[in-house]
A and B are shown apart, each in its own frame.
Chain A
Amino acid sequence: MEISTKKVISTLGIPRLIIITFMIVLCIMAIFLKLPLNDLLSDTLVRTGMNGVLVLAMVPGILSGIGLNFGLPLGIVCGLVGGLVSIEMDLTGYTAFLVAILVSIPISAIVGALYGYLLNRVKGSEMMVATYVGFSAVSLMCIGWLLMPFKAEEVKWPIGDGLRTTIALTGRYDKVLDHTLSFDIFGVTIPTGLLLFFFLSCFLMALFLKTKTGMAMKAAGDNPRFAIASGINVDKQRIVGTMISTILGAVGIIVYAQSFGFFQLYQAPLMMGFAAVAAILIGGASARRANIIHVILGTFLFQGLLTISLPVANKIITEGNLSEVLRIIVQNGIILYALTKVSSGGD
């Protein structure tokens, strides 16, 4: 028994244990404060599933050596374009969802490759450059959204030019994954389809990492000099990693949107990269090391903390509209903590 406990501790790492303990304490407080714990847990599961793919997008970036992909918004805007195209084509349900993904993949692949070329030019400061690439892409698309020639009523402002800031997916593919095969257990709703999609993505990623290209990419990221000595084209592998990361960003935002019920354009994608970075770091990854477990665990812990801590805090401090302030403090606090773990891998 003692050995297995030790093993659990060493695999999880102390930080994870502390966070898990904190989450359990929050859950207990929620019960005492008469908050509906089952709803909170359902929410946590949904949010894990909806953010999961975005967090998974960090893995190829980290493994190919470009570090944490702060430029995730680049992939996100590609996904948004795909999503809008599927609405423009007046599709609904799974068809619309899949078409959105299919349209966004080639767009994000091309954008990702160009982004990869850029990152190869700035070796050593990828993460800083990536952050500003993300910011620039979002700002540039603010103009793009105004100019894009979409005709659909739901997408365009009713008066004038340009696209709406939020586009409701009601009647399109709002929660198609969430509701697929979902069931209740002890009052907790399990969003089976959503979680399955997330796990399937993880499985595909795991498969990819075991291919020849996957191995080459890992080697290029782990030790570029070793990779060169093994005849691997390091720059090419970094571009592959960046491309996959960008594609997953695009797919991720579509999954996110179907759960959330809205596409958010303009400034909304700006900080999404940070949440994904924080989640994988909390899961135990570092800027050089990451695996699927880090993704699943990290997403669950990060989203769980956000979901549960806010109602608890709001209940304790009932003053006015503190909830938004608290959300920002908690979320950025977690990101800040996670960023201190960039180099050490959270151990």
Chain B
Amino acid sequence: MQNQEYIIQMKDIRKEYFGNPVLKGVNLNVKKGEIHALLGENGAGKSTLMNILFGMPVIHSTGGFEGEVTFDGNITNIDSPNTAMHLGIGMVHQEFMLIPGFSISENIKLNREILKANIFSPIIGEQAKTLDFKKMDQESQVSLDTLGLNLKVQSKVEGLPVGFMQFIEIAREIDKKNMKLMVFDEPTAVLTESEADALLKAMRRIADSGISILFITHRLDEVMQVSDSITILRDGEQAASLDTKNTNVVELAEIMVGRKIENMAQKEEQDTSKEVIMKIENLVVDMPGEEVKGVNLEIKKGEILGIGGLAGQGKIGIPNGIMGFYPSTGNVTFDGKNIPLNNPAQSLKSKIAFVSEDRRGVGLLLDCSIEENIVLTSMQIQNKFIKNYGIITQIDKKTIRAHALDMISNLDIRCTGPEQLTRRLSGGNQQKVCIARALTLDPEIIFVSEPTRGIDIGAKKIVLDTLVELNKRLGMTVVVVSSELAELRSVCDRIAIVTEGKIEGILSPADNDADFGLMMSGDYHKIHGKEVG
């Protein structure tokens, strides 16, 4: 029954984390010697699927998974990363796991060194054998040459360009004799264009030598260029399995994004003549992992603007830069006034509020009560909730309590009372406390970064509804930054897509899926060949 043609077949894989399904019956079939691309947005289930493939402990400690894995024609139970390694499944990591002070061949052969006997080894045993550097170098050189890399294996890893390190990682994997399937997890993310090109060529060479490759990426043009077949995941479901020759970039983008939920409220036609409330010019933010490299954006009064894009492209850096948390340059005018950058207090005083994506790290004082969390910023910035006795101030407990109770009932924060520590709240309720704190500032514009990250579906809806409500009832300008495109499309008036630190374009939620997909993968301009937005 099992097909010998396939190196790995994963059938009807289901997995849930704490009752929250992340994989809902996914099939993955990779043929021998082919390059198979695995596509999907952040959170589509790619990493979970890979964790299952590698038998990662996180899978088994959360109740295992359902489905069947067939490797090389035999049904296998991959229960630990060790098993996966013995079967011949290898992984090229996104972070390089190399020892800088070792030579390339030492790194390649680490823990699989070739040994030779010496005068002590017959007595002491295996541990006392000497390394056979000559042979190690020879074999490593062969692996390195397979990749088409012109480099001596004796040189130290230290000081090599990033791209080369990636190749050494790969060389280490293909040097393993039993290697049958290699997983490349976004290998081109850190590479320059020419390095990426070389890598794709190397992948093709590896595949030709009989090793199958599973290629995880979101760069669609690379997929088209190098892969033989494609599986697309969306929201834990298998959206499609295709042969590369029968498809094109636009179709892939469309399938990848898909339309997941209906618009919660049908929007009235946009009034395009709305005045611009905030103007961002050439904003550069040095936020590690989310660098912004020159963003120009106009935010209109009273709109809900979405900022979308894939993780690490810089969308989160935009609000963080405007609020002055990370060193930034550029020009931001709000309501006709220039906002000095790198000065959080000034930004807050200008009635700009921000709900951080890092709820526990930035958003909350975990060991303080809900009420203290809610009023603290406003107290420091606007001197509210304070009684003055000459030079001595005291906090105004009564007003604080009243305000906190108000917020708790308005935002439906589920808690035992305003004195409960925020540490004890669930993610959704913590998020509501963060929003309550921002609202206490009585802002004219509110930036909300990843508002629904890590909270359950019910709370998600309440948080999103709250944002829409604020916008509608109070006319507050809301900017939502989120990796979840479906979410943005359900609440926003306009959506700006950020790719590689810049605004790739601005779309309306009603625009078609292909445009969204292309913009997120940075292929929009290549296809349409024109500037937008």
Taking Cβ atoms with an 8 Å cutoff, the residues of A that contact B are: 207, 210-213, 215-216, 218-219, 222-223, 225-226, 228-233, 288-289
CB-defined contacts of B379 to chain A, threshold 8 Å:
212, 215
For residue B381, CB closer than 8 A to chain A, the reply is yes
A337: min CB distance to chain B, Å: 24
For residue B323, CB closer than 8 A to chain A, the reply is yes
A231: min CB distance to chain B, Å: 3
B325, A228: Cβ atoms under 8 Å? yes
Selected contact of B392 from candidates A211, A215, A223, A232, CB within 8 Å: A211
Write the chain A residue with the least CB distance to B395.
A210
B365, A229: Cβ atoms under 8 Å? no
Given contacts A230-B376, A230-B380, contact A212 B363 (CB under 8 A): no
For residue B70, CB closer than 8 A to chain A, the reply is no
Give the distance in Å from the alpha carbon of A230 to the alpha carbon of B372 in the complex: 13
B394, A229: Cβ atoms under 8 Å? no
A244: min CB distance to chain B, Å: 15
B393, A212: Cβ atoms under 8 Å? yes
Write the chain B residue with the least CB distance to A232.
B380
A226, B381: Cβ atoms under 8 Å? no
Q: Which 10 pairs, one residue from A and one from B, show the smallest C-beta to C-beta distance?
A: A231-B345, A230-B377, A211-B393, A225-B362, A212-B393, A231-B348, A222-B365, A231-B344, A210-B395, A231-B381
Give the distance in Å from the alpha carbon of A210 to the alpha carbon of B361 in the complex: 24
For residue B277, CB closer than 8 A to chain A, the reply is no
A215, B348: Cβ atoms under 8 Å? no
Write the chain A residue with the least CB distance to B354.
A229
Contact residues, B350-395 vs A (CB, 8 A): 354, 356, 358, 361-368, 372, 376-377, 379-381, 383, 386, 392-395
A284: min CB distance to chain B, Å: 14
Give the distance in Å from the alpha carbon of A233 to the alpha carbon of B344 in the complex: 10
A231, B362: Cβ atoms under 8 Å? no
CB-defined contacts of B323 to chain A, threshold 8 Å:
229
CB-defined contacts of B325 to chain A, threshold 8 Å:
225, 228-229
Give the distance in Å from the alpha carbon of A232 to the alpha carbon of B344 in the complex: 8
CB-defined contacts of B380 to chain A, threshold 8 Å:
212, 215-216, 219, 230-232
Selected contact of B368 from candidates A213, A222, A228, CB within 8 Å: A222
A225, B394: Cβ atoms under 8 Å? no
Given contacts A226-B365, A230-B376, A231-B380, contact A210 B394 (CB under 8 A): yes
The size class of the interface chain B forms with chain A is 20 to 34
A67: min CB distance to chain B, Å: 15
B386, A212: Cβ atoms under 8 Å? yes
For residue B349, CB closer than 8 A to chain A, the reply is yes
B49: min CB distance to chain A, Å: 34
A229, B362: Cβ atoms under 8 Å? yes
A231, B349: Cβ atoms under 8 Å? yes
A223, B394: Cβ atoms under 8 Å? no
Write the chain A residue with the least CB distance to B373.
A226
Between B323, B349, B356, B362, the greatest number of chain A beta carbons within 10 A of the residue's beta carbon is seen for B362
B365, A211: Cβ atoms under 8 Å? no
Give the distance in Å from the alpha carbon of A207 to the alpha carbon of B397 in the complex: 13
CB-defined contacts of B367 to chain A, threshold 8 Å:
222, 288-289
B300: min CB distance to chain A, Å: 26
Between B367, B372, B376, B394, the greatest number of chain A beta carbons within 10 A of the residue's beta carbon is seen for B376
CB-defined contacts of A222 to chain B, threshold 8 Å:
365-368
Give the distance in Å from the alpha carbon of A222 to the alpha carbon of B360 in the complex: 12
A30: min CB distance to chain B, Å: 39
CB-defined contacts of B377 to chain A, threshold 8 Å:
229-231
B164: min CB distance to chain A, Å: 34
A28: min CB distance to chain B, Å: 38
A125: min CB distance to chain B, Å: 21
A229, B376: Cβ atoms under 8 Å? no
Between B345, B346, B358, B380, the greatest number of chain A beta carbons within 10 A of the residue's beta carbon is seen for B380
Give the distance in Å from the alpha carbon of A230 to the alpha carbon of B344 in the complex: 7
A347: min CB distance to chain B, Å: 13
Give the distance in Å from the alpha carbon of A226 to the alpha carbon of B373 in the complex: 10
CB-defined contacts of A289 to chain B, threshold 8 Å:
367
B395, A211: Cβ atoms under 8 Å? yes
Give the distance in Å from the alpha carbon of A233 to the alpha carbon of B366 in the complex: 19
Give the distance in Å from the alpha carbon of A207 to the alpha carbon of B386 in the complex: 13
29 of the cross-chain contacts (CB-CB < 8 Å) are A207-B392, A207-B394, A211-B392, A211-B393, A211-B395, A212-B383, A212-B393, A213-B393, A215-B380, A219-B365, A219-B380, A222-B366, A222-B368, A223-B364, A223-B365, A225-B325, A225-B361, A226-B364, A228-B325, A229-B323, A229-B354, A229-B356, A229-B377, A230-B348, A230-B381, A231-B347, A231-B377, A231-B380, A232-B380
Give the distance in Å from the alpha carbon of A228 to the alpha carbon of B376 in the complex: 12
B372, A215: Cβ atoms under 8 Å? yes
CB-defined contacts of B376 to chain A, threshold 8 Å:
215, 219, 230
Give the distance in Å from the alpha carbon of A313 to the alpha carbon of B376 in the complex: 51
CB-defined contacts of B383 to chain A, threshold 8 Å:
212
CB-defined contacts of A226 to chain B, threshold 8 Å:
362-365
Write the chain B residue with the least CB distance to A230.
B377
CB-defined contacts of A228 to chain B, threshold 8 Å:
325, 344
Give the distance in Å from the alpha carbon of A212 to the alpha carbon of B428 in the complex: 29
Give the distance in Å from the alpha carbon of A141 to the alpha carbon of B349 in the complex: 46
Contact residues, B59-95 vs A (CB, 8 A): none
Give the distance in Å from the alpha carbon of A213 to the alpha carbon of B383 in the complex: 11
Give the distance in Å from the alpha carbon of A229 to the alpha carbon of B365 in the complex: 11
Write the chain B residue with the least CB distance to A229.
B362
Beyond A223-B364, A231-B349: 6 further Cβ-contacts under 8 Å? A211-B395, A212-B380, A215-B372, A223-B361, A225-B325, A232-B380
B362: min CB distance to chain A, Å: 5
Write the chain A residue with the least CB distance to B348.
A231
Write the chain A residue with the least CB distance to B355.
A229
Question: What string of 1s and 0s marks CB contacts (under 8 Å) between B247-271 and chain A?
Answer: 0000000000000000000000000
Give the distance in Å from the alpha carbon of A145 to the alpha carbon of B344 in the complex: 47
CB-defined contacts of B364 to chain A, threshold 8 Å:
223, 226
B416: min CB distance to chain A, Å: 15
Selected contact of A212 from candidates B347, B348, B368, B395, CB within 8 Å: B395
Give the distance in Å from the alpha carbon of A219 to the alpha carbon of B325 in the complex: 16
A229, B344: Cβ atoms under 8 Å? yes
Question: What string of 1s and 0s marks CB contacts (under 8 Å) between B479-510 and chain A?
Answer: 00000000000000000000000000000000
CB-defined contacts of A232 to chain B, threshold 8 Å:
345, 380
B289: min CB distance to chain A, Å: 15
B349: min CB distance to chain A, Å: 7
CB-defined contacts of B393 to chain A, threshold 8 Å:
211-213
CB-defined contacts of B365 to chain A, threshold 8 Å:
218-219, 222-223, 226
B95: min CB distance to chain A, Å: 24
CB-defined contacts of A288 to chain B, threshold 8 Å:
367
Give the distance in Å from the alpha carbon of A226 to the alpha carbon of B437 in the complex: 12
Write the chain A residue with the least CB distance to B392.
A211
B399: min CB distance to chain A, Å: 14
Give the distance in Å from the alpha carbon of A289 to the alpha carbon of B393 in the complex: 23
Give the distance in Å from the alpha carbon of A229 to the alpha carbon of B349 in the complex: 12
Give the distance in Å from the alpha carbon of A225 to the alpha carbon of B377 in the complex: 12
